[in-house]
Amino acid sequence: MKKLTLMGMLLIGMFLLVASAPFGYGQIEEWVARYDGPGYSRDYASAQDKPATADNIMKEALQRASKENKNVFFMFHASWCGWCKKMDAALMDEVCKDSFDKNYVIIHMVVKESQNKKHLENPGAAEFLAKYNGDKSGIPFWLIFDKKGKLLADSFMRPEGVGLDQPGSNIGCPGLDNEVAAFIDILKASSSMTEKELAIISERFKKNRN
């Protein structure tokens, strides 16, 4: 009887601990849904799920972009990458999230994972990264496509006159003044953002240097 009483107290204590925790299951699901998109949250959040292939991610993104008349903002990341998390935090910041959502379908592919997390990588993502000269750069590495799949821009900074077929210096997550300026020029050329929106985004991304 004493054992049952102690067990009962233990179970009650565990229940109260879970009930009072700041992150309930509903909040966790809401966080996951917030980042839901082709190839991202489902593959990133659960080791049990099989990651989508690069081809399927791109196909789904272009279909959605065509339907919504947007371009595609395509980012390569990994679970260990602190700058990738900074990039996502900036994109999702309430001061500029709507501006990005109105203009881009934002998707992710997982690459360059540590050895014990290779199962998170999207099949074909490494080859897709290499196709656009990003395999030898750091991450995040991002690409912008139009709704028909034409490459409009990438995260390389290049000397004037050098084409997209040549690699450059990866901006990654913009933070320095020259990186943010280059990023804003790319957004201006690939979206319908206003000068006011671009100014807000510029100020937000400059916080990444901290």
pTM: 0.77
Boundaries of domain holding 30: 1-34
pLDDT score of 115 = 95
- Name the pLDDT band for 48 (thresholds 50, 70, 90): low
* Shared domain check, 49 and 131: yes
Give the residue with greater pLDDT, 38 vs 155: 155
* Shared domain check, 96 and 3: no
* Shared domain check, 42 and 14: no
User: Does 21 score more than 80 pLDDT?
Assistant: no
Q: Where are the beta strands (DSSP E) in the chain?
A: 71-77, 104-110, 141-145, 151-154, 156-157, 169-170
pLDDT score of 8 = 52
Give the residue from 132, 126, 129 showing the smallest Cα distance to 167.
132
* Shared domain check, 19 and 55: no
Q: Poorest-confidence range of 43-57, 59-73, 144-158, 170-184?
A: 43-57
Query: How many domains does the structure of the chain reveal?
Result: 2
Q: What is the mean pLDDT of residues 189-206?
A: 98
Structural contact between residues 39 and 74, judged by C-beta atoms closer than 8 angstroms: no
> For residue 52, what are its two tokens?
């989508």
Q: Poorest-confidence range of 1-5, 80-84, 121-125?
A: 1-5
User: Does 12 score more than 60 pLDDT?
Assistant: no
Q: How far apart are CA 75 and CA 178, in angstroms?
A: 20
pLDDT score of 210 = 75
Q: How far apart are CA 53 and CA 94, in angstroms?
A: 30
* Shared domain check, 50 and 28: no
* Shared domain check, 16 and 65: no
User: Does 17 score more than 70 pLDDT?
Assistant: no
* Shared domain check, 177 and 192: yes
* Shared domain check, 86 and 20: no
Give the total residue count for the chain. 210
- Name the pLDDT band for 4 (thresholds 50, 70, 90): very low
* Shared domain check, 58 and 73: yes
* Shared domain check, 64 and 132: yes
Give the residue from 128, 137, 132 showing the smallest Cα distance to 110.
128
pLDDT score of 49 = 75
Q: What is the mean pLDDT of residues 78-86?
A: 96
* Shared domain check, 185 and 205: yes
* Shared domain check, 159 and 61: yes
- Name the pLDDT band for 180 (thresholds 50, 70, 90): very high
Q: Please, what is the angle between helix 177-190 and helix 195-206, to 10°? A: 150
